[in-house]
Amino acid sequence: MSTDVSADTLRVGTHTLSSRLIVGTGKYATHAEMQKSLELSGTDCITVAVRRERLIDADGNNLLDFIDTERYTLLPNTAGCFNADDAVRVARLGREILLGLENPGADWVKLEVLSDTRTLLPDPVATIEATEMLVADGFQVLCYSTDDPVVARRLKEAGAASVMPAGSPIGSGQGILNPNNIRICMEYLKENDPDYPVIVDAGVGTASDVAEAMELGVDGVLLNTAVAHAADPYGMARAMRLATEAGRLAYLSGRIPKKLYATASSPEEGVISLKPR
């Protein structure tokens, strides 16, 4: 058997992405640094946030001046919302902007309904409620969630196009703290529906975290801080691109089982030396 990933695209609802890595546009030192980091990450889908226009001292220097909307599918998020109603308002405003940009991302949203400003952990109850409202309004909803398998299933039942469990808290860089929960999420979400997309969103800190996530069989990884705040965002963007592919390939290629110890890599017959005992 041989693994072909040339056509190994990430499908979420009606969208097809060539990269399994989704990258955020926040927290870079400069717009230019962001622009180059996105390019090096190999992603074709980037998240953006909706905020009030600065009415005075608008430097006329807008994020969108640094984003090729032909190249990237934008995924607007509802960051900063703490209840379902606000999340719906923000999602609609994002859609209105993307319609103006004629970007394919106009029909989807990354839903974030947070519970408090300190930990930025998602509120499962309000997230389920907002998912139902947004689905009713015609959105394809990608839900940022905890790794609770039951909440994940509830979100899918509410019509989510993808459930995106956090590996660990946003920006914590702790990687996948509970692979067991991610495994049960997959079991729930992919049961009789193997193509349902599960994306690990938030918490990854370095390349091996991304590879480990992909090796669990998730369909993609969404990250931001790990690249934007690395000492060298460009190097880390490339690392994340490679790690996503490495982890995906390793998952598809069927790793060896773990053992307490040891089987020889070199043949045991034909040795010229004496075996002990």
Partner 1 sequence: MRVDVNGEPRELPDGSTITDLLQELKLDRRYLAVERNREVVPRERHNETRLVGGDQLEVVTLVGGG
The binding site for partner 1 (CB under 8 A) comprises 24-28, 31, 34, 47-53, 55, 58, 60, 62-64, 74, 76-77, 79, 89, 92-97, 99-101, 170, 202, 222-225, 264-267, 270, 272
Among 207, 219, 220, 221, binds a second copy (CB under 8 A): 207
Active site residue 110: yes
Decide if residue 254 touches a second copy (CB under 8 A): yes
27, 110, 258, 275: the active-site residue: 110
**Part in contact with a second copy (CB under 8 A); list of ranges 14-22, 101-109, 135-143, 262-270:** 262-270
Decide if residue 190 touches a second copy (CB under 8 A): no
Q: How far apart are CA 66 and CA 209, in angstroms?
A: 29
Q: Which amino acid is at 135?
A: V
CB 14, min distance to a second copy, A: 25
Residue ranges with strand state E in 139-265: 140-145, 162-165, 199-201, 220-223
Spatial CA neighbour of 205 closest among 181, 236, 234: 236
Sheet strand arrangement including 140-145:
108-111, 140-145, 162-165
Decide if residue 228 touches a second copy (CB under 8 A): yes
Cβ–Cβ < 8 Å for 226, 190: no
| Among a second copy, partner 1, none, residue 18 binds (CB under 5-8 Å by kind) | none
Length of the chain: 277
Catalytic residue numbers? 110
